[in-house]
Amino acid sequence: MKDKLQTAQVIISALPYIQKFRDKIFVVKYGGSAQLDENLKSDFIKDIALLQLVGCKVIVVHGGGKKINSYLDKLNIKSEFVDGLRVTDKEAMEVVEMVLSGNINKELTALLNKNGARAIGVSGKDANLLKAKTLNNGKYGFVGEIEYVNTAVLNGLLQNGLIPVVAPIATDDEANSYNINADLCASKIASALKAERVIFLTDTQGILDNDKKLISKLNESQINELKNTGVISGGMMPKVDAALECVKSGVKNAHILDGRLSHSLLLELFTDDGIGTMIRQ
């Protein structure tokens, strides 16, 4: 009986957050270990299904770096990272699009539907959802910078009770395909929709200080200081830049979470203390 009462108390403690977040838009960037470990993947799918069932409007933007690496290795196509971004030539772009739009996207969509959610998989090329130009004058090859998000498409899907599962591939007026960093893609979508929250699942606890302790809350000036001292560097840079762009564009809060922890999404959103780093104005 004691365990049952504790379960009931946990559910009741989440009630204020469920009421607060009903009909709000959440953009969730899904990647890293949470995407590769089958148990973590199952937990993530259930978290997203639950968010929809309690009335949240959820958009999932997924990465796929490790699976892309695997396919590029099999095909003997070289790949490198500069400034935390994958340099993508035309040959690699074909593999990136195949893996993101054709493999990972459809698997996630099918799993969400199997678990009681209503999801639809889309690429940024569908209905001109994401229009882009080459990033930094082609420094990274076919890596793009999003110039336009077709919010009418996303709002239409959300209003019809669907979860858009977005593969971060964009196009330009010449129908070229561009690889978009998934963190920056989630940021652009959240900013365009003025989402309630944007959440980035990573393979770290969040943002750590020099003593490797979690920093639970940050603002822009604190982030700049951590960049200048080298505490924030490498692959964390695009995530932090994406989070900052969101809150400066009208998104209420951005969260960087440890996707290696089961149900980290629910723990961050529906508990008082949360478990990751929250970035705000």
Residue with structure tokens 């196509």? 77
Give the largest Cα separation in the chain, rounded.
Answer: 65
In 10 A of CB 161, how many CB atoms? 10
Would the annotation count 197 as a binding residue? no
Would the annotation count 179 as a binding residue? yes
Q: Which two tokens stand for residue 126?
A: 């569908």
Would the annotation count 141 as a binding residue? no
CB-CB contact of 257 with 265 (8 Å): yes
Would the annotation count 206 as a binding residue? no
Q: What is the C-alpha separation between 244 and 169, in angstroms, rounded?
A: 22
Give the DSSP letter string of 136-150. GGGTTBSBEEEEEE-
Q: Which two tokens stand for residue 222?
A: 């604190």
CB-CB contact of 85 with 239 (8 Å): no
Q: Where are the beta strands (DSSP E) in the chain?
A: 25-30, 57-62, 80-82, 85-87, 119-123, 130-134, 144-149, 163-167, 169-171, 177-179, 197-202, 217-218, 253-258, 277-279
For residue 6, give the H/E element and its range.
helix 2-21
Among residues 244, 140, 146, which one has the least CA distance to residue 192?
146
Residue 253 sits at φ, ψ, to 5 deg, of -145, 150
For residue 233, give the H/E element and its range.
none
What is the identity of the amino acid at 232?
I
Please report, in range form, the residues annotated as the binding site: 64-65, 86, 179
Please report, in range form, the residues annotated as the binding site for substrate: 64-65, 86, 179
